[in-house]
């Protein structure tokens, strides 16, 4: 009996020791270095020949998107380097960690935005999205007015028509900057940038409403409707 107790105790100590090693290995600096692939600029998403949004405006805006791609890559590199140097408790490391939401959303939202812009694409009134909009808002025009109202919220940010993958419900949301107000797990169906840089070239600082009306003339409904079709069919929509 006594021998069995000692044997069990010894096995427990070995197990605890093993778990301890495993945990310490988990905290090993090498194991937490970032090794993500670098993002590249998605040239195929760049729109042109839009209605009431000039190519000059798009070129200017595109440069900012390129900046976000570069910043995301730089952010991951810096985090990796700081981890490799053992500077996990530094202010710089904390600061870079806090930048994730801003830089990543800055890149990703621009890809959804440019990806849903194209001139002269009509909406399909038979599409599931059109039916869902009618069901939620009573009419397409009611939704459009609500989306315009969302886009004129004071401050820099985005108006996004989101879909809830669980309920399939639609909601218009305002996102401040790039990262404040995003709803976790919801799918962006239609994304509109309302930072001033999105319309300054064409419409000046006070021209947000004119820009929004121009934006709505250039929605690539085929892309937007597919995003919603994919959602209701539980398919992942790739943004590029």
Q: Closer CB to Fe ion, residue 111 or residue 193?
A: 193
- The stretch among 2-10, 34-42, 167-175, 191-199 that binds Fe ion (CB under 5 A) is 191-199
Positive or negative, the Cα torsion across 125, 129, 133, 135?
Answer: positive
Beta bridge partners of residue 159, listed in sequence order: 174, 192
Place of tokens 């996990």: 88
CB of 164 to Fe ion, least distance (A): 25
- The H helix count followed by the E strand count for the chain is 9, 3
Q: How would you label 153-192 residue by residue, b for 16+ Cβ within 10 Å and e otherwise?
A: beeebbbbbbbeeeeeebebbbbeebbeebeeebbbbbbb
CB of 77 to Fe ion, least distance (A): 23
Number of residues that bind Fe ion (CB under 5 A): 2
Select from 111, 193, 202, 225 the one that contacts Fe ion (CB under 5 A).
193
- The stretch among 23-31, 127-135, 186-194, 210-218 that binds Fe ion (CB under 5 A) is 186-194
Q: Closer CB to Fe ion, residue 63 or residue 92?
A: 63
Cα–Cα distance between 145 and 148 in angstroms, integer?
Answer: 5
Name residues whose C-beta falls within 8 Å of residue 92's C-beta, 6 or more positions apart in sequence: 78, 82
Name residues whose C-beta falls within 8 Å of residue 17's C-beta, 6 or more positions apart in sequence: none
CB of 113 to Fe ion, least distance (A): 7
Q: Closer CB to Fe ion, residue 79 or residue 107?
A: 107
Q: Closer CB to Fe ion, residue 106 or residue 161?
A: 106
CB of 191 to Fe ion, least distance (A): 10
Name residues whose C-beta falls within 8 Å of residue 70's C-beta, 6 or more positions apart in sequence: none
CB of 157 to Fe ion, least distance (A): 10
Q: Closer CB to Fe ion, residue 157 or residue 187?
A: 157
Residues in contact with Fe ion by CB under 5 A are 193, 195
């Amino acid at each position: 009996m006594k021998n069995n107790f000692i044997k069990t105790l010894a096995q427990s100590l070995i197990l605890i020791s093993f778990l301890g090693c495993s945990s310490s290995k988990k905290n090993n600096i090498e194991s937490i270095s970032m090794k993500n692939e670098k993002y590249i600029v998605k040239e195929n998403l760049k729109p042109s020949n839009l209605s009431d949004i000039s190519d000059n405006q798009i070129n200017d805006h595109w440069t900012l998107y390129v900046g976000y791609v570069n910043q995301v890559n730089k952010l991951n590199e810096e985090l990796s380097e700081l981890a490799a140097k053992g500077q996990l408790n530094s202010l710089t490391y904390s600061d870079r960690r806090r930048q994730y939401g801003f830089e990543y959303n800055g890149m990703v939202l621009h890809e959804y935005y440019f990806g849903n812009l194209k001139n002269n694409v009509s909406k399909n009134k038979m599409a599931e999205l059109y039916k869902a909009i009618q069901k939620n808002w009573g009419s397409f025009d009611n939704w459009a007015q609500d989306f315009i109202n969302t886009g004129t919220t004071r401050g820099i940010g985005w108006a996004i028509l989101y879909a809830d993958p669980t309920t399939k419900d639609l909601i218009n949301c305002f996102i401040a900057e790039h990262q404040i107000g995003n709803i976790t797990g919801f799918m962006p169906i239609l994304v509109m940038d309302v930072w001033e840089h999105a319309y300054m070239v064409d419409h000046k600082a006070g021209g947000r409403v004119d820009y929004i009306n121009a934006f709505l003339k250039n929605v690539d409904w085929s892309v937007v409707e597919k995003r919603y079709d994919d959602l209701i069919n539980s398919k992942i929509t790739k943004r590029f």
